[in-house]
Chain A
Amino acid sequence: MSFPVLDEHRLQATEAATLRLLTARTEAWTRLDDVEALRERAHSIRMAAIDDLDGHLDRFIAALKAAGGTAHVCATAEEARATVVRLCAGAKLAAKSKSMLSEEIELNAALEAAGVEVVETDLGEYILQLAGEHPVHIIAPAIEKTAGDVAELLSAVEGVRVEPELKALAQAARRQLRRVFERADVGITGANFAVCDTGSICLVTNEGNGGLVTSLPRVHVALLGMERLVPTLDDLAVLLQLLARSGTGQTLTTYTRLLTGPRRAGEEDGPDELHVVIVDNGRTGLLRGRYREMLACIRCGACLNVCPVYRKSGGGAYGPVYSGPMGAVLVPLLRGLEREPGLPHASSLCGACTAACPVKIPLHELLLDLRRDLVGEGIAPRSERLAFTLWSLLWSRPLLYRLSTAFARLGGPLGALAGPGRTWAAGRALPVLARRRYRDGR
């Protein structure tokens, strides 16, 4: 299935926002002393955790327990959903902060089926919930919405017209969400990182809603991708230097929270219970082999912002959860290549993603390898394999190359009638073979 280009309205919103974000990133990177050294360090910190994931996991879980929290290790999305539903037993309302992992495991539908009302409190996610849509960008979920779109959605809840102007929109959302924070029995968040030494989880946000979700409700459930572990606080500091800079161009996000266990005796804020739901859902399957580097991803969104394909087609084209280059690599790996055979081809292999990745994941090379696997595992269509085999048999022999290209010149215009030539010719002139090849004149 080929990717369509977004409609004009969404295209303009997406291109403007991604350009703003990618420009901010490049500027933020140039302000760092030695960004290449920092990227190398970040890469090795992430790979150290992945090289001994079991060891790091054990250390994190022990430290979390010592701090009074509870760990729940879940092998599958189904298990993770069931665990969160169980932790929410008796709750009427769950306030959520942004979590792509909750999208990955399709948590909201499961909670609602169990009778728990779920309200997204990240502004972008809240807007999408009102619109009944999925996030289309991992850090800016409502990137395709303009102020006008948002005003319309918020006005419907307010019952009066909200002006499409930032302050008015923020105030309306804040009014609406305050009522949720006050009533919520459970707060559900993701976790940007988990620190093995201290058992802390780290949450970075720009809106402050994360602080209310993790402190007001009686129970805090944090969803953690199994690979998002960092050994020490020093290591975390390295990654935090890159995360916000790469995502939004900020030095740090407005709020960087380190949560270590639930509220302790004598403390005023914080939940009675802290549960960290650690989700595998296919991740450990990548531990050995070529694709393990994908586990280093810190979900900054830089690769989406620089990707010309993402910027034209939008996140929805990739599927409901992860998009852009990181999604094109990760989703087939988590869900199985046979279920997502199109995603490795959703790239011109321009390599802008690899150059933008703060933890140096060779994204476009991984896409190339996935394409090789599509062929190697027999998932690529037989017709395509046959075409490339025939082509290579002809063109690996100079005489047959000369004959085939002489014939092709005669039949040239016919190429527009069917197959790839026809697809090409829909928006482009068919290239005309020269009357004399270079070799003929030599």
Chain B
Amino acid sequence: MRVQLFATCLGDLLFPDAVADAEALLRAAGCEVEFPRGQTCCGQPAFNAGHRRASDRLARSFARAFDPDVPIVAPSGSCTSMVAHHMTAHFDVRELSSLLDELGAEPPARNDGLRLAYHSSCHMLRDLGIDEAPRRLLERTGAELVPLQRPDLCCGFGGTFSVRHPEVSVAMADDKLADGARADALVTADPGCLMHLRARAARTGAVRVVHLATALARGAA
């Protein structure tokens, strides 16, 4: 299967290793992975803040970068949702873990004996309805999944929300991190949640937060 990898801006700029892990997983699952070099960002930050002219500009740029006839894969629930639901052009876009699960991927057993908690990112869960695939994949790597009390609760990022309401945003991150404290690592499939939770955990010394692609390809330890 030929796929176009959409690294997403956060993936490209902050988490290149997680994107490389996503690419490795796709190749191992039998995909031929292309990386369209014209890609930048899906425009979601502007879209969610109400700036539609700005997000339209990014959507046009996205449409120039990607071939509409080849499936697109993104290691991000929220960017997948943006491309799938909020662009006028139609793309066959897939979130990484749902495609891997569908392809019957068998990621290496790098999490044997590890207790991992999975955070169901909001767009992933409620916009895309993907919740079981990442868990199934993690279990295939030997991890024991520790249930969160509130897996569906938002981590508090919310794009510009995180700087418009910093106090509430941080308090929400603390709740999520505390909920995952019993695990060896908290796993998320969304670079936005990853950035936010890690940034807070760096200040408080809370649980490790790992991107799903990394946890699957190289283990979450």
Residues of A within 8 A of B (CB): 2-5, 308-309, 312-313, 344-352, 354-355, 368, 370-376, 380, 384-385, 388-389, 391-393, 395-398, 401, 405, 420, 423-424, 426-434, 436-442
Contact = CB atoms under 8 A, between A and B. Distances in A.
A428 B167 contact: no
Nearest to B33: A442
A346 B156 CA distance: 11
A308 B153 contact: yes
A385 B51 contact: yes
Interface in B30-67: 35, 37-41, 43, 45-55, 57-58, 60-61, 65
Given A352-B152, A428-B170, A441-B20, A389 B54 contact: yes
Given A308-B172, A313-B168, A368-B48, 19 more contacts: A5-B171, A345-B160, A345-B165, A349-B48, A350-B154, A352-B154, A368-B47, A372-B52, A374-B50, A375-B49, A388-B49, A389-B51, A398-B40, A405-B12, A424-B166, A429-B198, A434-B16, A438-B12, A439-B12
B131 interface: no
21 contacts: A3-B168, A5-B171, A347-B158, A350-B126, A350-B154, A351-B126, A352-B122, A352-B154, A371-B50, A372-B50, A389-B51, A392-B57, A392-B58, A395-B61, A398-B40, A398-B65, A428-B199, A431-B195, A434-B13, A438-B12, A438-B20
Nearest to B158: A348
B166 A430 contact: no
A428 B209 CA distance: 14
B202 interface: yes
Give the interface centre of A308, A349, A373, A438 by most chain B CB atoms within 10 Å: A438
B162 interface: yes
B150 to A, nearest CB: 9
A197 B70 CA distance: 57
B35 A375 contact: no
Nearest to B43: A392
Interface in B143-192: 152-154, 156-173, 175
B91 interface: no
B107 interface: no
Contact of B199 (A372, A424, A441): A424
B138 to A, nearest CB: 22
B219 interface: no
B7 interface: yes
Interface residues of B, number: 67
Interface of B: 7, 9, 11-17, 19-20, 35, 37-41, 43, 45-55, 57-58, 60-61, 65, 122-123, 126-127, 152-154, 156-173, 175, 195-196, 198-200, 202-203
B35 to A, nearest CB: 5
Give the interface centre of B53, B57, B65, B165 by most chain A CB atoms within 10 Å: B165
A4 B162 CA distance: 13
Contacts of B202: 428-429
A428 B196 contact: yes
Contact of A427 (B50, B54, B153, B200): B200
B167 A348 contact: no
Contact of A392 (B54, B163, B168): B54
Contact of A371 (B38, B48, B157): B48
Contacts of B52: 372, 375-376
Nearest to B46: A388
Contacts of A392: 43, 46, 51, 53-55, 57-58
Nearest to B86: A368
A255 B180 CA distance: 42
Contacts of B199: 424, 428-431
A423 B40 CA distance: 25
Contacts of A426: 166
B51 A398 contact: no
A391 B158 contact: no
Contacts of B47: 368
Contact of A355 (B9, B13, B126, B173): B126
B46 to A, nearest CB: 5
A2 B7 contact: no
A308 B14 CA distance: 27
